[in-house]
Structure 1
């Protein structure tokens, strides 16, 4: 009875949920410890750490919560990069077993692809007379895998562009001078591996892939056919029209709804927990989760 009462108390108050965030284990700027502390400061009840193609930050976060008795429920997650019709699509895995053998194998393969891509980007930048880019970007990666975000921060620090957005536009994005296409797994591979690890698969930030509505629906249909469980309905930097459109798509394809800030940096409009609550018309992915 006490368990039912506790759940009732939790859901009678406004539950703040953020199921998409990043740490220094991938391309975030906060350590796992600092991230969970910020989550507490922002009064987040349920937080998922979903670093790109790695779960290396989760043990530190779990230990920090335990040692400091932090009042936040941590969901073990990951954001897996996939390729779909020449588009890089991200699939978030939630409530995963980070020691699952299939997951470990897939993430190791993804890591090797990321290293190969980073080296290729560095070579392209060298042809533009931007020397030693890989080594310098590594300083921003704090010893972990170098991503385009780390190259972007290096280019800003070097004074070649004003900000990260311009770094992607001029050098690292699809039309950039140093763009290198991603080499990663399929949506099916990602979803199957997440399920093997006991988790749920979520299509991340669906409206950020520069797809027409027709192509977005095709993507969601393919994701659903692969066994996908949910789509992110509430995101940061989102209009009410986008929120309602995604809610409608979640229901149309009989998918659960997730929400997440996709937090990387200390920017107000991208801060942890700063997303609009899910509309009442959708079923939250956490509707049947145990919060113990």
Structure 2
């Protein structure tokens, strides 16, 4: 079969795949153009741009690759925020049609929820004598999305906290003074929109939700029952035990395996492509993609 033959040829060449990254279209620090160039510098062969609840950075990335004839395969993606049992769970969509109406309608709704949340965070910060936080956070947002990450950067630069971690702990995280619960779509809504746009739905960074082993299995089970296709098995900042545990869970629930750095900024241990290879025991999500 051509796909399988092609797959074997590709992997003899040790292709480097990164299927989770962010640009200034959401809360990353590199423009889409700069991101794809850095990916090439890092010898990445297949890159997915998966900005939070937006596909607005993909056109620029495509244009740069085409105009500069960069040796990289771009996968059109998105990372959709969802609500699940009072937890914010992220669903990555890969190989999506970025012009599909149902997907765009959902992303517009998500964008409106982000704006409302950001304005409420700003109001809470104002009560703490931190004025004009929304306008200040916008200065750190190069795209339309204003996220908690942008508020965190403002709080650091403004001298209110020493670093981003403290910004979340003191103000923006669940126990923070200015925390506002999100109003995202459901996992089912996200998966349906991704599938309607011809894509595959991936449960992003499953071990980062601070769930018990039992709850994590429940999440994966519900994700699978709603039609989910894969889970991220290989992630940045990951111990070997977690890699093997997620590989086992992927097989237990009959899911494909994905991998991605979740790149946002220029930090060495979070750089593009800095993930461990997938174990041989799993089926990669790209096993039947045409990667030429």
TM class by smaller structure: over 0.9
Q: TM-score, normalised by structure 1?
A: 0.98
Counterpart CA distance in 1 for 2:123 and 2:279 is 46
Residue 32 of structure 1: how far off its partner (Å) = 0.1
Moved more, 136-145 or 96-105: 136-145
Counterpart in 2 of 1:146? 146
Counterpart CA distance in 2 for 1:5 and 1:113 is 45
Counterpart in 1 of 2:204? 204
Residue 159 of structure 1: how far off its partner (Å) = 1.1
Residue segments in structure 2 that go unaligned for 5+ positions in a row:
none
Residue 145 of structure 1: how far off its partner (Å) = 1.7
Residue 5 of structure 1: how far off its partner (Å) = 7.6
Q: TM-score, normalised by structure 2?
A: 0.98
Counterpart CA distance in 2 for 1:210 and 1:194 is 25
- The 5 A counterparts of 1:203-242 are 203-242=203-242
Counterpart CA distance in 2 for 1:185 and 1:2 is 38
Residue 7 of structure 1: how far off its partner (Å) = 5.4
CA RMSD of aligned residues (A): 1.4
Counterpart CA distance in 1 for 2:3 and 2:190 is 34
Which 4+ residue blocks in structure 1 deviate beyond 3 angstroms?
1-9
Counterpart CA distance in 2 for 1:209 and 1:6 is 36
Counterpart in 2 of 1:35? 35
Counterpart in 1 of 2:64? 64
Moved more, 230-239 or 137-146: 137-146
- SS of residue paired to 2:140: helix
Residue 186 of structure 1: how far off its partner (Å) = 0.2
Counterpart CA distance in 2 for 1:245 and 1:7 is 25
Cα displacement string for residues 127-168 of structure 1 (whole angstroms, at most 9, x for unaligned residues): 100000000000000252210000000000011111111111
Counterpart CA distance in 1 for 2:209 and 2:218 is 13
- SS of residue paired to 1:141: coil
Moved more, 142-151 or 251-260: 142-151
Moved more, 198-207 or 7-16: 7-16
- SS of residue paired to 1:21: coil
From the superposition, tell whether residues 195 and 143 of structure 1 become closer, same or farther in structure 2 (CA, over 3 Å).
closer
Cα displacement string for residues 89-119 of structure 1 (whole angstroms, at most 9, x for unaligned residues): 0000000000001001000000000000000
Counterpart CA distance in 2 for 1:2 and 1:250 is 25
Counterpart in 2 of 1:181? 181
From the superposition, tell whether residues 147 and 3 of structure 1 become closer, same or farther in structure 2 (CA, over 3 Å).
closer
Counterpart CA distance in 2 for 1:65 and 1:50 is 17
From the superposition, tell whether residues 209 and 5 of structure 1 become closer, same or farther in structure 2 (CA, over 3 Å).
closer
Counterpart CA distance in 2 for 1:2 and 1:200 is 21
- SS of residue paired to 1:14: coil
Counterpart in 2 of 1:266? 266
- The 5 A counterparts of 1:43-54 are 43-54=43-54
Q: Say whether the 8 Å CA contact 2:4–2:287 is kept in structure 1.
A: no
Counterpart in 2 of 1:245? 245
Residue 10 of structure 1: how far off its partner (Å) = 2.5
Counterpart in 1 of 2:90? 90
- SS of residue paired to 1:74: strand
From the superposition, tell whether residues 6 and 84 of structure 1 become closer, same or farther in structure 2 (CA, over 3 Å).
closer
- SS of residue paired to 1:140: coil
